[in-house]
Structure 1
Amino acid sequence: MARERATALLIDFDGVLRRWDPTVAARVERAYGLSDGVLGEIAMSWDVLQPVLVGKVSHAEWMSSVADALTPSVGDAGRARAAVAEWQRYRGEVDPEVLAFVREVRAAGVPVGLGTNATDQLDADLAALGLTDDFDVVVNSSVIGVHKPAKEYFQAACEALATPPARVLFVDDEPRAVAGARVAGLSAHRWGGPADLRYLRAALAY
């Protein structure tokens, strides 16, 4: 039997709606004499990243730990902090096609949630990127205390959207998050780029 079309959309932030230009970090690393990719490598190492994603530490504390780890490489704590601060000034870029899709879906009366593993800086990022009014709900892992791909994360997201899991379409670029959403009963699509928008429109009831 064919699955009913979704009546709500839950969309990931980084890798779907927000894109990152890797040359920004590379430029900072060159300027401070750091090895290629070291900023992301340290920040995204799971023991450093996981606490900030569930709200156990703040974004500022997370970045402070990155600077501490960099200090031996640059030989000076102040210089390490400056490198991290310069890197953090970049907020990423919004994919205009995805944003247009989000606005189209909401205009058609379909509730849209932003479902993201994020820090306490998310609201500031959304404001800086002009996205404050583009979602009916924002489900931030650091606020609810659990991150994707946990079933509890998706349960909280569906409750926020006031929609049963079977009627929520989730879109993410990470395979583990997509798999977790399916375990929780949602329809889920792994994002491959704007060419996927045709499929997503067909999967939504509007």
Structure 2
Amino acid sequence: MPRDRAQALLIDLDGVLRRWDPAPMIAVEVDNGLKPAALLETAMSWDIYRPAMAGEITDAEWMELVASRLPLDIEEARAAVAQWQAYRGEPDPEVLAFVREVRAAGRKVGLATNATDRLRGDLETLGLAGEVDVVVSSWEIKAHKPAPEFFEKACELIGFPPKLVLFIDDDDRAVRGARAAGLSAYRWSGPQHLDYLRKALDLPEG
């Protein structure tokens, strides 16, 4: 039996709607005598990253833990982290245009992301706060992708059962988690498949 066409879209932020230029982040590391990607690798250490996105610690507390692990004097480390955090990425124009197209066709769009308490401010800074109908933040709902609880809450917030929701993410684990929770899910690798996604949402052509 064919699946029902999706009536709502849940889309990931980092790596999909927001893209990051590595150059300014690496420049901070080089300026502070750190190896390239040292700050990112430290921040993504699971023992401090997981509580930051699970709503157990704040973004500021997470960044303090990052600073404490750098091979620098603590004040220098805090300054390096603050400098690194100043760059907040930018919206991907093709993905943003797609989100607007989906909403213009009468479909709801939700941002579904593992994030910290800094998310809402970032969305304002990036001009994205008004571009989606719903924001599903792991920090706020105290559950993170790929947990089934995340997708249950996301579907509840966007107002559709899982079988009527299309989820887009660049992380295989999140895609598998969404499918296990009953959503249609697509692994994002770039805008080359936007036509396929338009069909999946039954958007009007042209």
TM-score of the two chains, using structure 2 as the length reference: 0.97
Matching residue's letter, 1:54: A
CA distance in structure 2 between the partners assigned to 1:110 and 1:104 by the alignment: 9
Alignment length (residue pairs): 203
Q: Distance in 1 between matches of 2:25 and 2:96?
A: 24
Aligned match of 2:50: 50
1:59 maps to a residue whose letter is D
CA distance in structure 2 between the aligned counterparts of 1:197 and 1:155, rounded to whole angstroms: 25
Q: Deviations over 1:64-93 (max 9, x none)?
A: 1101111xx12x111110000000000001
1:190 aligns to what? 187
Taking the aligned partners of 2:17 and 2:101, their CA distance within structure 1 comes to 14
Q: Distance in 2 between matches of 1:31 and 1:134?
A: 36
Task: Give the match for residue 83 of structure 1.
Answer: 80
Q: Structure 2 residue aligned with 1:200, among 197, 200, 204?
A: 197
1:197 is displaced (CA, Å) by 0.8
Q: Which runs of 5+ in 1 are unaligned?
A: none
The yes-or-no answer on 1:64 pairing with 2:85 is: no
**Structure 1 residue 205: deviation in Å?**
3.0
Q: Partner letter of residue 42 of structure 2?
A: I
Please point out which of 137, 142, 146 is paired with 2:139: 142
Where structure 2 has 5 or more consecutive residues not aligned to the other structure, the ranges are none
Aligned residues with identical type, % of pairs: 61
Q: CA deviation at 1:37?
A: 1.3
SS in 2 for 1:2: coil
1:20 is aligned to 20
TM-score by length of 1: 0.97
User: Is it true that 1:110 corresponds to 2:110 in the alignment?
Assistant: no
**Cα offset for 1:112?**
0.3
1:24 positional shift: 1.5
Amino acid across the alignment from 2:88: R
Task: Please list the CA deviations of residues 125-163 of structure 1 after superposition, one character each: whole Å capped at 9, or x if unmatched.
Answer: 000000110111100000000000001100000000110
- CA–CA distance in structure 2, aligned partners of residues 78 and 44 of structure 1: 21
**In structure 1, what is the Cα distance between the partners aligned to 2:36 and 2:188?**
27
Aligned to 1:124: 121
Runs of 4 or more, structure 1, over 2 Å off, are none
| 2:67 alignment partner AA | A
Equivalent position SS for 2:88: coil
In 1, Cα distance between equivalents of 2:36 and 2:95:
30
- Describe the superposition over 1:24-67 as per-residue Cα deviations: whole angstroms up to 9, x where unpaired: 12100110001121101100010010001111000000001101
Amino acid across the alignment from 1:20: W
Q: How far, CA to CA, are the matches of 1:52 and 1:46 in structure 2?
A: 10
